[in-house]
C-alpha cells in the first residue's frame, strides 16, 4: 500500500492501521526524510506495542505511488491537484483511493464543494480513465485511526468501478471497518459534504463522531 501524504494525521493513522493488519506500507511525502522518519517511528511503536515487525518504509510521494498497487491520497485539498499531477504517471492501471475532503479554511464546518463537484471527481478527471479512483474514509476521524481501539464508523465507498470499490471494502474489513458500495464517483460529493457536518457536530459535542448505516446485517 502506498500512502501519498502519509505524514499528516490522517495518513499516519492509516499507515498505522494498515501496517498493524499485516499490509506492507510505503509512506510518501514531499520530503522523503520526513516520510522515512515517520516510518521509523511506526516501526519502533510496533515493537514497543508488541505488534511485531511492521513492513513500513518511507519515500517520496512519487516513489510511494510507484511502489504500490493500491495508492491512498491523504493530502489537504489545497495540495490535491498538484499532488495528483505529480503521481499521475506512477498510478496508471492502479486503484487510487482518494481520502481528500475539499475543506476551505477557516470555515471548515461549512459545506463548500468545489467546481469539479467533489475531490473524488477531480481526482478521476486529473488521473484519467486508466486509473480506477475510489473515494472513501472521509468521515473517519484521524483520532480513531491513530488510536488502538475499535473504529466505530462505517465508510461510504464510491467509484466508477465496482471491482475497485470492492477491493477497497475488502481492505477496510481487514482493519475492522465496514465499507459499503455507495455508487459512482459523482456520489463522493455526499460523503465529502458530510465531513463538514461532522466537524460541526464534533465541535458542539466535543467528540469524534462518525456515521453508521442501519438496517444492514
pLDDT, residue 72, reads 98
CATH class of 2-205: alpha beta
Q: What is the DSSP letter of 159?
A: E
* Average pLDDT for 184-203: 97
Distance, in Å, from the CA atom of 163 to the CA atom of 107, rounded to the nearest integer, reads 36
Of 16, 21, 5, give the one whose Cα is nearest residue 98: 5
Residue 25 burial (CB count, 10 A): 27
The whole-chain average pLDDT of the chain stands at 96
98 phi/psi in degrees, rounded to 5: -90, 115
Helices (H), 21-161: 32-48, 61-67, 80-87, 119-127, 142-145
pLDDT in tens, 134-166: 999 999 999 999 998 999 999 999 999 999 999
Residue 49 has pLDDT above 90, yes or no: no
pLDDT in tens, 77-136: 999 999 999 999 999 999 999 999 999 899 999 999 999 999 999 999 999 999 999 999
26 by DSSP, 3-state: which?
strand
pLDDT in tens, 54-68: 999 999 999 999 999
Q: Where are the domains of the chain?
A: 2-205
Distance, in Å, from the CA atom of 133 to the CA atom of 120, rounded to the nearest integer, reads 7
Residue 213 has pLDDT above 90, yes or no: yes
Q: How confident is the model at residue 185 (pLDDT cuts 50, 70, 90)?
A: very high
Of 36, 20, 48, 27, give the one whose Cα is nearest residue 146: 20
Amino acid at each position: 500500500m502506498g500512502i501519498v501524504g502519509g505524514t499528516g494525521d490522517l495518513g499516519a493513522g492509516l499507515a498505522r492501521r494498515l501496517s498493524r493488519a499485516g499490509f506492507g506500507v510505503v509512506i510518501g511525502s514531499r520530503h522523503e526524510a520526513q516520510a522515512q522518519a515517520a516510518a521509523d517511528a511506526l516501526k519502533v511503536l510496533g515493537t514497543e506495542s508488541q505488534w511485531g515487525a511492521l513492513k513500513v518504509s518511507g519515500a517520496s510521494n512519487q516513489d510511494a505511488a510507484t511502489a504500490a498497487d493500491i495508492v491512498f491520497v491523504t493530502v489537504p485539498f489545497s495540495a490535491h491537484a498538484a499532488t495528483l499531477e505529480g503521481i499521475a504517471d506512477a498510478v496508471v492501471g492502479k486503484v487510487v483511493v482518494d481520502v481528500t475532503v475539499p475543506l476551505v479554511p477557516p470555515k471548515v464546518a461549512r459545506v463548500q464543494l468545489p467546481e469539479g463537484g467533489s475531490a473524488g471527481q477531480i481526482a478521476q478527471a486529473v488521473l484519467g480513465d486508466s486509473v480506477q479512483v475510489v473515494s472513501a474514509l472521509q468521515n473517519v476521524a484521524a483520532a480513531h485511526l491513530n488510536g488502538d481501539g475499535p473504529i466505530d464508523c462505517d465508510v461510504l465507498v464510491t467509484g466508477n468501478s465496482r471491482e475497485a470499490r470492492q477491493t477497497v471494502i475488502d481492505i477496510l474489513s481487514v482493519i475492522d471497518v465496514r465499507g459499503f458500495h455507495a455508487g459512482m464517483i459523482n456520489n463522493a460529493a455526499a460523503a465529502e459534504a458530510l465531513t463538514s457536518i461532522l466537524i460541526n457536530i464534533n465541535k458542539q459535542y466535543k467528540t469524534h463522531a462518525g456515521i453508521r448505516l442501519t438496517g444492514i446485517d
